[in-house]
Chain A
C-alpha cells in the first residue's frame, strides 16, 4: 500500500523521530510505514489521519 506520509511529514518539517513521538510509536515504525514495508492497523491509520487532519484515503492509496 502506497502512502504520502513522507511528503506530509516534510511539509511540516518534522523528522521521523518527531512523527514517531506524535504517534507514540518507534522511529523504526515510522520508517517502515514510509518505505511501505509495513501497513498500519486501522487504529494507527486513524491516528495518522487525525494528526494530519486528512481522510485516510488521502494519505493511503490501495495499489490493487
Chain B
C-alpha cells in the first residue's frame, strides 16, 4: 500500500511480514502433507484450509492499517481505492463465473480472488495518484 513512513505504516509492514512468512511456511507444510499423506475427513479439511489463515492475517493487517492511519485524507483515499478494488474484482469474478458456466474458460480458481483484489487495489491507487498530481 502506498503510505508515508509513520508508526501505523511501520506496524503494518511488521504485521504483513509476519503474516507472509507464516503463509510461506504453512503453504509448504500444507502442500507437503497433502502430497505425501492420505488425509481424510476433518484432518484433510484443516490441512487444506490452513494456508488461508495467514492470508486472513494479511487482510486483518490491511484493516488495522486503515483504522490506525493518523492522516484522515490518506485514509479516505485508501478506503476509496479499496471500494473501487472491491467493485472491480467482484465484476471480474462475476464475468469469469458466467464464462466458466458457459464452458468458455476452464475451472475458476477461488484462491485468485484476493490476489486479483490486491492487483485492482494497486491499479485504483495508481489512478488516484495520477489524478491527485
Contacts and interface: CB of A to CB of B under 8 A. Distances in A.
Interface in A17-55: 24-26, 28-29, 32-33, 37-38, 40-41, 44
Interface in B49-78: 70-74, 76
Main secondary structure of the interface of A (DSSP, over half): loop
B132 interface: yes
Contacts of A26: 4, 71, 73-74
Contact of A41 (B4, B72, B132): B72
B70 A44 contact: no
- Which of B70, B71, B74, B132 has the most chain A CB atoms closer than 10 A to its own CB? B71
A37 B72 CA distance: 13
A37 to B, nearest CB: 8
Nearest to B3: A26
A10 B70 CA distance: 25
A25 B132 CA distance: 17
Main secondary structure of the interface of B (DSSP, over half): helix
B72 A44 contact: yes
B126 to A, nearest CB: 16
A32 B71 CA distance: 12
Interface string B1-38: 00010000000000000000000000000000000000
Contact of A38 (B4, B70, B76): B76
Contacts of A44: 72
Contacts of A25: 70-73
Interface of B: 4, 70-74, 76, 132
Closest 9 CB pairs of A and B: A29-B73, A26-B71, A25-B71, A38-B73, A32-B73, A41-B72, A29-B71, A26-B4, A44-B72
